[in-house]
Structure 1
Amino acid sequence: MDVKDRIRGSERLKKFIYWLLVPKNQARPRLWVKWFVNPFYHKKGRGATICRRTRMDVLPWNIFELGTNSTIEDFSTVNNGVGAVRIGSRTRIGLGNTIIGPVTIGNDVRLAQNVVLSGLNHNYEDVSMPIHEQGVSTAIITVEEETWIGANCVVVAGVTIGKHCIIAGGSVVTKDIPAYSVAVGNPARVVKTYNHDTGEWQRAVNKNLIAV
């Protein structure tokens, strides 16, 4: 039995290791983890920038990757505590974003200000217990390459946004958005899609062009 299996098999040991990495009742790792552990576990591409006022709640037991020439702006929060966070190359995570894994973001993506992508939900089935004690469920969010997400958008767990989409500011994306689409609203719906045959954007006038 290796070290990881021993930790997984002992609830007491697991709690002790977690305490070593993260202060009680906190999500942010201890400074020694940030300085001496995470740099060896996580990948940061050449020319990538994490601005000084970004909150990086990243831990070594899940993946964090930031691609070449990508930027995470100030006042954003990135958390991989319950799922991997992968960010591609030449992508910009705007001011005040919140990204909670599992989340995968492709190349050449732009997230404007105050965007929330959360791949977790809190369980709530047992009404005899506080919700925060019931654990979480996760479903990966995928944002494919070249997509632009406007300010103050929310993308919920399990959603895929296709390539080269535009999500209008203030939208709440609750279902998948097909590639080459413009979506708007709460819940977000597709209002335009790109027709590769005509080379033009066309209005969504039938059910085939609505987010499914």
Structure 2
Amino acid sequence: MPDSADYQAQHKHRLSYMPWLYYRLKPRHLAWATPWQHEIQAQLRALETVEIGKNVFIAPEARLFAEPGRPIVIGDNSYIAADTVLHGPVTLGQHVSINHHASLDGGRAGIVIGDHCRIAAYCSLYAFNHGLAPDRLIRDQAVSSRGICIQSDVWLGSHTGVVDGVTMAEGAVAGMHSVVTRDVDAYQIVAGNPARAIGQRQNNK
């Protein structure tokens, strides 16, 4: 197909929602795609407190908010798909994928995601919580934040939620539509609401 303006515009949309394709582009497509990404990332650096590693893809439709003191750090070879919302403090390791419509808010304590993690579409990670005292409105409750830690090689299935204070250890997996409310052991597979152990990945390390 010719590299027309219409084709490039459509291909940019495709890459925004399927960013892993960016790393498979042929040189003739990289000729326009690479400057496009550089422009997006330069604008983010100018406007937000972000640190972006090498060979990173960020969809222009993604929304990154990183005020001073609430930085976003993105490791090498990671990508952030369209309609994702990241509010710092958030730290992504290397080779991390954040797929479309995911929502991550670091609260005060922050979210840390280790290398080689896969965060599927529509996942929600919120590193803060509201109090529940009955003598005041929910809107007036104190807000707490303990942070979320997702260690390396973790996979969160689509529509998974992770609440404040949770650590998911290396190699853990959460099935689709899980709500993870407590720590998950290394290589453990959990599912459900609230998520419970349903299996174990084979650990040959």
TM-score by length of 1: 0.70
Counterpart of 1:36 (choices 33, 42, 46) is 46
2:30 maps to none
User: Is the Cα contact below 8 Å between 1:114 and 1:153 reproduced in 2?
Assistant: yes
**Pairwise CA distance, 1:194:** 4.0
Rounded Cα–Cα distance in structure 2 between residues aligned with 1:49 and 1:60 = 23
Query: Considering only aligned residues, what root-mean-square deviation do their CA atoms show, in Å?
Result: 1.9
Q: What do residues 124-172 of structure 1 show as CA deviations (whole Å, max 9, x unaligned)?
A: 42634x4233341101111111111100110000001111111100100
Counterpart of 2:60 (choices 42, 48, 52) is 52
1:113 maps to 121
Q: Which has the higher helix share?
A: 2
Task: Tell me the matched-pair count.
Answer: 159
**Pairwise CA distance, 1:122:** 1.9
Rounded Cα–Cα distance in structure 1 between residues aligned with 2:180 and 2:94 = 23
TM-score by length of 2: 0.72
Counting aligned pairs with the same residue, the percent is 27
Matched, 1:74 2:79: no
Q: Which amino acid aligns with 2:96?
A: T
2:143 maps to 136
Query: Structure 2: 5+ residue runs without aligned partners?
Result: 1-42
Rounded Cα–Cα distance in structure 2 between residues aligned with 1:126 and 1:186 = 25
Which stretch has the larger CA shift, 147-156 or 41-50?
41-50
Segments of 4+ moved more than 4 angstroms: none
Rounded Cα–Cα distance in structure 2 between residues aligned with 1:34 and 1:70 = 16
Rounded Cα–Cα distance in structure 2 between residues aligned with 1:46 and 1:60 = 22
Counterpart of 2:161 (choices 135, 143, 154) is 154
Rounded Cα–Cα distance in structure 2 between residues aligned with 1:98 and 1:185 = 20
Counterpart of 1:103 (choices 98, 104, 111) is 111
Q: Which amino acid aligns with 1:65?
A: V
User: Is the Cα contact below 8 Å between 2:44 and 2:50 reproduced in 1?
Assistant: no
